[in-house]
Amino acid sequence: MTDMGRFYYKNKWSSELGLLIEYNQTFPLPERAVNVVEVIGLDEAVIIDQGYYKNVVISFPVKLVPQRGRTVKEQIHEIATWLYSTGYEQLVTPDDRDYYRMVVYTSSSDFEEEMEKYGKGTINFSAKPYRYSRLGNKVITILTKGTKFNNDGATTKPVIRVYASGDVDLYINAQKMTLRGLNGFIELDSFMMTAKDAAGGNISNRVTSYPFLTLEHGSNTVTWTGGALSKIEIIPRWQKL
């Protein structure tokens, strides 16, 4: 079987459950969240950018392939249980295997009814707007001040691990984060906005300036001042629309 007729979700290929993509799957571009405000006395509306993209709906028209030794109802029930999620899960499609999407599926009743009646149905995932690179989960190790690397996608919120003691001012381009009283290690998660020690304990009191650092589109230069710093590790979380 070729990969093109299936998708990978919650540690399984859909084909393992007898579920195949039929045709015309959709991957729409995300919509920017903006407010359009009509102002009395102006000839045009005022556009207010909210600073983020909305989730998108990814649709898979699918069909059921009966499996030997199992009833159709058993298969459909297993598929519906597998699809349902209470939080975001990774979704991989064969046409874009270097990236994954973060999706959630919460409504199974209509799908089950369709599949039982016709052996076909449509799965609609609500997906975060960005595609996430597999390479974005690999650690970048920085040993010298002024190290540069390139981000060819959108701005990201990385995990940054600083191995240092004392007081450190950490810079990425013009951004600065001030860390005080380090005791060998701190992990900064720019998405979760947390600071943890090596055991996972909260040490947010060591961070004395905000916001958290991001990796900007284009060139990023990492440097620092103060403290006894041995290395920095960055999990970049590369992403693209």
State mean pLDDT over 26-55: 68
Range with the poorest average pLDDT among 38-42, 82-86, 122-126, 221-225 = 38-42
Q: What are the tens digits of pLDDT across the range 46-75?
A: 666 566 678 888 888 888 888 888 888 888
Confirm whether pTM is higher than 0.85.
Answer: no
State mean pLDDT over 163-182: 96
The answer on pLDDT for 36 being more than 80 is: no
Closest CA to 100 of 56, 60, 128, 131: 131
b/e map 113-130, b = 16+ CB within 10 Å:
ebbeeeeebbbbbebbbb
pLDDT at res. 1: 44
The answer on pLDDT for 3 being more than 60 is: no
| Residue type present at position 129 | P
> Residue 166 to residues 30, 70, 208: CA-CA distances in angstroms?
43, 63, 13
Tokens of 6: 């299936």
The answer on pLDDT for 108 being more than 70 is: no
CB-count exposure of residue 179 (10 Å: 0-12, 13-18, 19+): buried
State mean pLDDT over 68-94: 87
**What CATH code is assigned to 3-129?**
2.40.30.200
Q: Which residue has the higher pLDDT, 71 or 208?
A: 208
The answer on pLDDT for 2 being more than 60 is: no
Tokens of 97: 């295997």
DSSP H/E element including 180: strand 175-183
Residue 119 gets the label, from left (phi > 0), alpha (psi -120 to 50) or beta, of left
* Contact residues for 44 (Cβ-Cβ < 8 A; gap 6+): none
Query: Which spans in 13-122 are helix H?
Result: 72-83, 109-118
Q: What are the tens digits of pLDDT across the range 180-206?
A: 999 999 999 999 999 999 999 999 999
pLDDT at res. 30: 65
DSSP at 202: B
Q: Count each helix (H run) and each strand (E run) in the chain, helices first.
A: 2, 19
Domain map (residue ranges) of the chain? 3-129, 135-240
The answer on pLDDT for 4 being more than 70 is: no
Q: Which residue has the higher pLDDT, 142 or 85?
A: 142
- Asked if 161 contacts 186 with a C-beta cutoff of 8 angstroms, the reply is yes
* Contact residues for 138 (Cβ-Cβ < 8 A; gap 6+): 235
Closest CA to 32 of 48, 15, 8, 12: 48
Q: Regarding the domain delimited by 135-240, which CATH topology (the fold level of the hierarchy) does it fall under?
A: Jelly Rolls (2.60.120)
